[in-house]
Amino acid sequence: MGKTYKAAVVGYGPAFNMGPTHINSIISNEGWEIAAVCDQSEERLAAAKETFPQITTYKSLDTMLKKEKLDLVVIITPHNSHAPLALKCLKAGVSVVTEKPMAITTKEVSDMMKAAKAKKLMLSTFHNRRWDADFVVLRDLVKQGLIGDVFRVEAGFNGYREQGTWWRSDKTISGGAIYDWGAHFTDWILQIVPGKVLDVSGFQVKNKAWKTYTNEDHSEYTARFDSGAVATLTISNLSAVERPRWTVRGTEGSIVAGADAFTITRSVDGRMWTTSVRYDSVKSDWHAYYRNVTAHIRKGEDLVITPESAARVISVLDSANVSAASGKPVKPKYQ
């Protein structure tokens, strides 16, 4: 059977039921035991204990790290707490998975990677949407070369509405609106646009009429790559004009996202040819993340979501924030 590995979760909820999501995905792999859950809420700890009666519950991470012999801690807490909690775990000799984003600043991710390297521990971020069906389809279409060399990407979400009044709309906690879905989009963009990031230019707007939160209402950045490609990400709740979630331009055609399929338009023998590929032509597979983590820990297989790839996402987002404040392009540390 081999060794049984013990895992714990810090932050059981309540956002999006991610505590049970992580736990169930971990234990779907042979050789894992969920030993503990740590949360500051008695109500959430009670809910965790009811669903997973074998666990021990804690309100203090320090206490949990002292009492439990853990192999992995999963951190599912507000964004600004990821780095300090991860550093505690790493320094205690425990590998770490953080929810996305890995942290908020480039310095934080640098400190986390340094601590993991010093202890020879695994550090990763739950970029589970790397296995979303629509992204897998898009990635494969680009890799097939159907539209030639990618030179321009426009991506993001647009709408017109106030943000909710919770921690994700507090910039000091969230890092800004672009750190939520923008972390997923940035991870995706860095998988389909070739080359290193030369610089990032950020732009942000706050609707002064919406005073109940501090996040920007429109956040965007443009990243230039050494391949010559350019990518713009927009996360806006101040846009009354909808745009496709993805528009990818290549030297031989384009890919545009629709409601349930990508439309591919390309030049073939001097004529324009259009077809569509549905998102459900493949299946999303979030369990692939912890299958890979398990194979990495048990067998030494390569980690898919490396700390370097997660840090690259943060370096772009952090640079976008700095650039928006200064009005000048910023070269990210992790390119």
Q: What are the tokens at 193?
A: 């646009």
- Tally the C-alpha atoms within 13 A of residue 266's C-alpha that lie toward its C-beta: 21
Q: Would you state the pLDDT for residue 267? A: 87
Multiple choice CATH, 5-129+286-305, 1.10.10.10, 3.40.190.10, 3.40.50.720, 3.40.50.620: 3.40.50.720
Question: E strands of 100-161, at which residues?
Answer: 123-126, 150-158
Within 10 Å of residue 305's Cβ, how many Cβ atoms? 23
| CATH-assigned architecture of domain 130-284+315-326 | 2-Layer Sandwich (3.30)
Tell me the sheet residues that pair with 95: 72
pTM of the shown model: 0.96
Buried b (16+ CB within 10 A) or exposed e, 124-161: bbbbbbbbbebbbbbeebbeeebbeebbebbbbbbeee
- Tally the C-alpha atoms within 13 A of residue 257's C-alpha that lie toward its C-beta: 21
Fill in the amino acid letter for 289. Answer: Y
Q: Cα separations (Å) of 76 from 79, 86, 110, 233?
A: 9, 11, 20, 25
- Report pLDDT digits (tens) over 255-307: 999 999 999 999 888 899 999 999 999 999 999 999 999 999 999 999 999 99
Q: Where are the domains of the chain?
A: 5-129+286-305, 130-284+315-326
- Report pLDDT digits (tens) over 193-245: 989 999 999 999 999 999 999 999 999 999 999 999 999 999 999 999 999 99
What separation, in Å, do the N-terminal and C-terminal C-alpha atoms of the chain show?
41
Cβ–Cβ < 8 Å for 318, 105: yes
